[in-house]
């Protein structure tokens, strides 16, 4: 058994490294372990590489939208292998950079499989380590699928490492992964189909804007099947056959690749939480508001592995990791503040949300809805985009913003202003009093209110 650590962190993603660096910099003896390269999902297998690939799709889409208005496409296309190499130009250096920062702060880094062997002990590839405290920040993993042939699917990590882009791709699930990847692949020349078991995809987002995005997706060549369940996936001599059931009618879809986009679950199954008396559920480790385990006071959890009020987003993981570290260092019980955290689906154009949906705000507030079709506005016309809209939900009693929902080119930047307004409790009158540089997307803010 090794010497006793002040803190052992499981997971070297954004939540884990944020906490480990903070505690190590304060002089604690910190260890951190991950079976995968350091950097986590966002930097290596999610947000960052995805958006690098999306840049290629943006260029293609922008040229097509501007075709005939002074821009000639002239056979513009995506070289998938070169674009993937561009992605690796960023991701390849992340693990060493992350690990160097940790060791520079005095942390000890481990590579291997971790599992609990007792309330204060953790085994890393068979070697037992003891610690006063633990932080579980092991992230999430693709949700297990049980239909016959599920083994033929690839997950998001594998999609982001494809050397070649197949011609026919089916995405299972109507969430972030399916829509973002389909928008990239379609602009790169693939025939894309999204299969969603529910009546409306992207259920966490405003339904009116989702409807507009679905139409825009279909215009981009993406087929979206709703109320459709996958029954089987079979390998054939010509690719894959996906058996689906839609309104009781069995159908077959032919594809070269099937991608798992049907959700993710906390990655805690292999940690042997029961050996340490750590309670957990479908949403991860059961924690109090200040991120401490409800059943083992030596344990904290943050990010996608923790059952908190926060959405599974990178910024949430980062500040949960920092809050957990601060609580451990100071012996405090501060809870993270989730107010005003925006989220974006990086389709083309992008769909954004911060705060409450209309259906969430209406029962407990007197609300005013500001819905604006911005497809004809200057900022949209300039980009030759055809689809853009905004819905802002305002509390008529306080004049404060309860929710903002934006669909349009570049709107992932504008949503941040709404997030700040919600967090600080700014009124629409205060927001309208600001003067923005013009002509910029930010100058549209006042008119949306």
Q: How far is the C-alpha of 182 from the C-alpha of 411, rounded, in Å?
A: 20
Q: What whole-number distance in Å separates Cα of residue 366 and Cα of residue 178?
A: 36
User: What per-residue confidence (pLDDT) applies to 204?
Assistant: 96
Phi, psi dihedrals of residue 168, rounded to the nearest 5°: -120, 120
pLDDT at 73: 84
Sign of CA dihedral 353, 359, 362, 367: positive
pLDDT value at residue 1: 54
Cα–Cα distance for residue pair 416/340, rounded to 1 Å: 9
List the structure tokens of 296: 């083992």
Place of tokens 């997971």: 11
Taking the chain (449 residues) in consecutive chunks of 10 residues, what is each chunk's mean pLDDT? 87 98 98 97 96 96 93 91 97 97 98 98 96 98 96 97 97 97 98 96 98 98 97 96 93 97 97 98 98 98 98 96 98 98 98 98 97 97 97 98 98 98 98 95 95
The three-point CA angle 116-120-121 to 5° equals 45
Residue 248: its pLDDT value, please? 87
| Angle CA 52–156–88, to nearest 5 | 35
In angstroms, the CA 251 to CA 262 distance is 20
Q: Which residue has the tokens 């910190």?
A: 30
Q: Which helix (H) or strand (E) holds 47?
A: helix 47-66
Cα dihedral 12, 18, 23, 29 in deg (nearest 10): 10
* Helix (H) or strand (E) segment spanning residue 354: strand 350-355
Report helix, strand or coil for 212: helix
d(CA 100, CA 106): 10
């Amino acid at each position: 058994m090794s010497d006793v650590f002040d803190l052992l962190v499981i997971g070297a993603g954004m939540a884990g490294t944020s906490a480990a660096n903070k505690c190590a910099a304060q002089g604690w003896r910190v260890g951190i372990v991950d079976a995968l390269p350091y950097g986590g999902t966002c930097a290596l297998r999610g947000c960052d590489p995805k958006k690098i690939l999306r840049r290629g799709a943006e260029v293609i889409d922008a040229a097509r939208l501007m075709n005939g208005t002074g821009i000639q496409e002239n056979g513009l296309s995506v070289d998938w292998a070169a674009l993937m190499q561009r992605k690796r130009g960023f991701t390849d250096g992340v693990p060493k950079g992350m690990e160097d920062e940790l060791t520079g702060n005095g942390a000890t880094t481990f590579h291997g499989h971790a599992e609990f062997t007792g309330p204060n002990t953790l085994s890393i590839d068979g070697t037992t380590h003891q610690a006063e405290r633990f932080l579980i920040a092991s992230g999430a993993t693709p949700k297990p699928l049980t239909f016959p042939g599920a083994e033929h699917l690839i997950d998001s990590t594998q999609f982001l490492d494809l050397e070649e882009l197949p011609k026919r791709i089916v995405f299972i699930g109507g969430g972030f992964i399916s829509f973002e990847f389909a928008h990239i692949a379609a602009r790169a020349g693939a025939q894309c189909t999204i299969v969603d078991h529910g009546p409306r995809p992207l259920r966490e987002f405003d339904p009116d804007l989702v409807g507009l995005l679905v139409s825009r997706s279909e215009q981009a060549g993406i087929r979206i099947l709703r109320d459709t369940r996958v029954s089987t996936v079979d390998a054939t001599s010509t690719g894959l056959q996906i058996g689906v059931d839609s309104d009781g009618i069995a159908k077959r879809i032919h594809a070269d690749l099937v991608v798992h986009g049907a959700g993710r679950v906390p990655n805690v199954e292999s940690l042997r939480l029961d050996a340490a008396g750590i309670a957990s559920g479908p949403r991860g480790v059961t924690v109090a508001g200040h991120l401490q385990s409800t059943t083992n006071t030596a344990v904290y959890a943050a990010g996608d592995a923790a059952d908190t009020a926060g959405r599974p987003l990178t910024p949430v993981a980062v500040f949960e990791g920092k809050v957990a570290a601060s609580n451990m260092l100071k012996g405090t019980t501060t809870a993270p503040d989730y107010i005003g955290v925006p989220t974006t689906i990086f389709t083309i154009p992008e769909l954004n949300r911060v705060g409450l949906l209309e259906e969430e705000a209406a029962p407990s507030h007197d609300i005013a809805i500001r819905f604006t079709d911005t497809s004809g506005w200057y900022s949209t016309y300039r980009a030759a985009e055809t689809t853009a809209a905004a819905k802002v939900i305002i509390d008529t009693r306080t004049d404060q913003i309860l929710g903002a929902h934006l669909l349009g080119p570049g709107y992932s930047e504008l949503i941040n202003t709404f997030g700040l307004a919600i967090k600080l409790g700014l009124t629409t009158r205060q927001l309208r009093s600001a003067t923005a540089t013009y002509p910029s997307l930010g100058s549209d803010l006042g008119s949306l209110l």
